Amino acid sequence: MLEQQLVNGLTLGLIYALIAVGYTMVYGVIELINFAHGEVYMFGAFLCMTFLTVFGAPLIVAVLLSMACCALMGVLLDVVAYRPLRNAPRLAALITAIGMSIFLQNLAMIIWGSRPLPFVKEALPAFFKVTALSFGDVNISWMQMTIYIVAISLMILLNVIITKTRTGTAMRALAQNRVCASLMGINVNRVIAFTFALGSGLGAMAGIMVSMFYNTMYPTMGYNAGVKAFAAAVLGGIGSVPGAMFGGVVLGIAETLGAGYVSSPYRDGVAYAIMILVIILRPSGLLGRAVTEKA
């Protein structure tokens, strides 16, 4: 049973991780907690479903289109809601973020209705239902394998982008000191937009995989996932990309074990208790570096 719970926890954790990197990257670059990120994740699922049903697109095309749309949505979010407040106190941007989150939730409700919708089953390959690996009592389905493979490869790709490309270098420079970076000739707004696009695209992928895995999507699904992913980002050390990945996996497993062995009504409580403990004992998070507050 423990092994099966670990498999369940890893699935959940990798999804949290995918959402959490979006939070952490934005925080790293502009020190904003983008509370509307959960809604981008929700839009990812709904847009993919729409491309599949309304336009009859093949699965891969629908997924890529949805990711692209959400990346664009992330950029728009920055341009509309955050850029005008770039030099305002941080609290102002935080409140706008919450406002955007509520706005997007209601927008989705107007477009797709408030009833929960199933994923388009016909679009999924048949082998998704089949068990991929099984050791004794432990079963891993192909759907779960797909989540593992997609999430891990996307995160490897993200690391390559951040460490090896020019834009990635610019992102890291911005995270260290925005003013200095702009003096060095970096187009700050463009790099921030790129960060939003990258994080939103990954968030969309997480939303699509969740709605496939559980066969359901609803307009308020972003809230819970968003809060959990935020907790994961804090757990790993907000601002740190490997930290967000690690935090997501730890949170997913802790939650699953908490529900399986401690008490199911307290599953979220267990997850948050761990987060609070980490913050008390290691304020910079599990993988975060203790840096002095920027001027």
Partner 1 sequence: MLGKGLKFFGTACLMGLLLAAVPALADDVIKIAVPSPYTGSAAGFGENVKAGVTLKVEEINAAGGIGGKKVEAVYLDEQCEPREAATVSTKIANDKAIVGIVGHLCSSAHLAALPTYVREGIAAISPTATSVTITDKNKDAKGNVWSFRNVYRDDFQGKFLAQYVDKVMGLKKIAVFYENNDYGIGLKDAFVKEAKTLGLTIVGEEAYMKGAQDFNPQLTKMKGGAPEALFIAGYYPEGALIVDQAKKIGLDVPKFGADGFDNADYIKLAGDAADGLYLTAPFLAETAGPDAKKFIETFKARFGRDVDWMSANAYDATGMLADAIAKVGADRAKIRDYLAGINTADKGYKGITGVNYFDQNGDCLKPAYVKTVKGNAFVPAPKQMD
- Quick check: 62 and 45 in contact, CB under 8 A? no
- Report the residue number, 101 or 240, with the smaller CB distance to partner 1: 101
CB of 276 to partner 1, least distance (A): 19
Q: Could you give the CA distance from residue 76 to residue 5 in angstroms, rounded to a whole number?
A: 39
CB-based contacts of 20: which residues, under 8 Å, 6+ apart? 229, 230, 232, 233, 236, 244, 245, 247, 248
Query: Which DSSP helix (H) or strand (E) runs through 132?
Result: strand 131-135
Identity of the residue, 177 or 224, whose beta carbon is nearer to partner 1 in the bound complex: 224
Cβ 192 to partner 1, closest distance in Å? 32
Q: From the CB of 183, what's the least distance to partner 1, in Å?
A: 41
Specify whether the CB–CB gap between 62 and 52 falls below 8 A. yes
Which lies closer to partner 1 via its Cβ, residue 127 or residue 294? Answer: 127
Smallest gap from residue 66 Cβ to partner 1 (A): 19
Measured on CA atoms in the order 90, 93, 95, 97, is the torsion positive or negative?
A: negative
Question: Nearer Cβ to partner 1, position 219 or 237?
Answer: 219
3-state secondary structure of 131: strand
Of 173 and 271, nearer to partner 1 (C-beta) is 271
Which distant-in-sequence residues (6+ apart) come within 8 Å of 146 by Cβ? 128, 209
**93 vs 229, beta carbon nearer partner 1:** 229
Cβ 141 vs Cβ 128: under 8 Å:
yes
Q: How far is the CB of 158 from partner 1 (least distance, A)?
A: 24
The CB-of-277 to partner 1 minimum distance in angstroms stands at 21
Site residues for partner 1 per CB under 8 A: 1, 4-5, 8-9, 12, 106, 109, 113-118, 121, 139, 141, 210, 214-216, 218, 220-221, 223-224, 255-261, 264-265, 267-268
Q: Which residues pair with 134 in a beta bridge?
A: 139
* CA gyration radius, the chain: 19
